[in-house]
């Protein structure tokens, strides 16, 4: 039976099925395979289940193919993937129109949003507190080619009617943004009830506290579904080459006109990117952000390659005959 993960509780999952809500655990066979692929179910996943409706439980045999996956690097020094949301149609990237508004942060969020396979949409929340939202919309559109941008307010409802195309029945969304951007308030507005706790913000820097601490699939008033995720101070990038190209499509398009195909856009003659910087048609801060994020992704790629080589080396050692020693000192294979 198919079922969809609506919440995760340390490898025990709440799943919604045709038979109702069940608590599900992976089978031993699934767990053994998961150790190899390092992939367990996430909120939003569709699963192949054996239900035991009499006791409200189910066994998970497989994760069905994902149509989209939003990932980031796990916190810490290790290069591990952390899945934030799967099977999402639209990614709402939330930025607050207050002192914490940051175009560079939005550029960072756009990379994994494009890479995920979902459609990114930028919501500029708290428009009721901003005297000129149109100015912020124009600035945001300048760093987000091809991405819809809407100024909204979860307090007054301003601009919310523009979100109707993304809220069709069966459509799955996720909200991603820094703490204090108003994600919980937006979720409550779209759900039509107080389904998420909300918190205030600090007056000195307009930043908020983490009011969402787990992932959950929430039904919205019109029949759409929302995967709510914890707020993040800074999104650490995971592998996202295609997302980088989409998020900086204007810079990439300029690069295609460079004299050399492998142009680094620094000092090479005939560099179209440097020419655009000199002419003022490419903003210097956007170029600097492009270079910084490129370097970050390249660093992550090197770390991941080193990790894979170490794992392969360890696997080869494990596959070789192991020499042990008996109590009498006799060596054997």
Q: Are residues 128 and 188 located together in one domain of the fold? A: yes
Q: Are residues 215 and 172 located together in one domain of the fold? A: yes
Please, what's the b/e burial string for 29-43 (b: 16 or more CB within 10 A of its CB; e: otherwise)?
ebeeebeeeeebbbb
Lowest-confidence pick of 49-53, 73-77, 272-276 = 73-77
Number of domains, the chain: 3
List, for residues 226-275, the tens digit of each pLDDT value.
Answer: 998 765 555 666 666 788 999 999 999 999 999 999 999 998 999 999 99
pLDDT of residue 326: 38
Residue 236 located in a structural domain:
no
Q: Are residues 58 and 75 located together in one domain of the fold? A: no
Model confidence at 215: pLDDT above 60: yes
Residue 248 located in a structural domain:
yes
Model confidence at 67: pLDDT above 90: yes
Q: Confirm if 94 and 177 have CB atoms less than 8 A apart.
A: yes
- Rounded CA separation 245/94 (Å): 21
Mean pLDDT, residues 177-201 = 78
Count of positions (residues) in the chain:
333
CATH number (domain holding residue 181): 3.40.50.300
Question: Residue 303's pLDDT band (boundaries 50, 70, 90)?
Answer: confident
Backbone angles phi and psi of 202, in degrees to 5: -75, 140
Mean pLDDT, residues 299-304 = 77
More confident residue, 141 or 112: 141
Q: Are residues 149 and 249 located together in one domain of the fold? A: no
pLDDT of residue 322: 43
Range of the domain at 21: 2-63
- Tell which of 17, 44, 63 closes a domain: 63
pLDDT of residue 316: 60
Instruction: State the residue for tokens 């787990």.
Output: 214
Residue 36 located in a structural domain:
yes
pLDDT of residue 309: 78
Cβ-count burial of 206 within 10 angstroms (0-12 exposed, 13-18 middle, 19+ buried)? middle
Nearest CA-CA partner of 138 in 274, 283, 237, 294? 283
Two structure tokens written together for 318: 């494990």
pTM score, two decimals? 0.79
Q: Which residues fall within 8 angstroms of residue 85, CB to CB, at 6 or more apart?
A: 42, 43, 44, 69, 70, 91, 116, 174, 176, 215, 227, 229
Query: For the chain, what is the mean pLDDT?
Result: 84
pLDDT of residue 236: 61
List, for residues 80-111, the tens digit of each pLDDT value.
Answer: 677 888 999 999 999 999 888 999 999 989 99
């Amino acid at each position: 039976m198919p079922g969809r993960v609506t919440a995760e509780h340390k490898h025990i999952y709440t799943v919604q099925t045709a038979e109702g809500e069940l608590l599900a655990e992976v089978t031993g066979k699934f767990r053994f395979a998961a150790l190899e692929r390092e992939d367990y179910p996430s909120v939003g996943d569709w699963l192949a289940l054996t239900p035991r409706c009499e006791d409200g439980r189910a066994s998970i045999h497989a994760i069905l193919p994902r149509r989209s996956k939003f990932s980031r690097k796990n916190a810490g020094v290790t290069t591990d993937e952390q899945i934030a949301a799967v099977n999402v149609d639209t990614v709402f990237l939330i930025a607050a129109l207050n002192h914490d508004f940051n175009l560079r942060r939005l550029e960072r969020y756009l990379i994994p949003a494009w890479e995920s396979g979902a459609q990114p949409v930028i919501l500029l929340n708290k428009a009721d507190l901003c005297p000129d939202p149109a100015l912020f919309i124009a600035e945001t559109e300048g760093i987000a080619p091809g991405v819809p941008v809407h100024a909204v307010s979860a307090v007054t409802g301003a601009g919310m009617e523009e979100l109707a195309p993304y809220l069709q029945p069966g459509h799955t969304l996720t909200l991603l943004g820094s703490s204090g951007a108003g994600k919980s308030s937006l979720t409550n507005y779209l759900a039509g009830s107080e389904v998420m706790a909300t918190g205030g913000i600090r007056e000195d820097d307009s930043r908020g506290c983490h009011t969402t601490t787990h992932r959950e699939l929430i039904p919205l008033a019109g029949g759409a579904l929302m995967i709510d995720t914890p707020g993040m101070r800074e999104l650490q990038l995971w592998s996202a080459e295609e997302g980088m190209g989409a998020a900086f499509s204007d810079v990439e398009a300029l690069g295609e006109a460079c004299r050399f195909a492998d142009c680094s856009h620094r000092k090479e003659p005939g560099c179209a990117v440097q020419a655009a910087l000199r002419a003022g048609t490419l903003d210097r801060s956007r170029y600097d952000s492009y270079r910084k994020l490129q370097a970050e992704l390249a660093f992550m790629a090197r770390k991941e390659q080193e990790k894979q080589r170490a794992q392969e080396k360890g696997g080869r050692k494990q596959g070789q005959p192991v020499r042990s020693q008996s109590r009498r000192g006799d060596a054997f294979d």
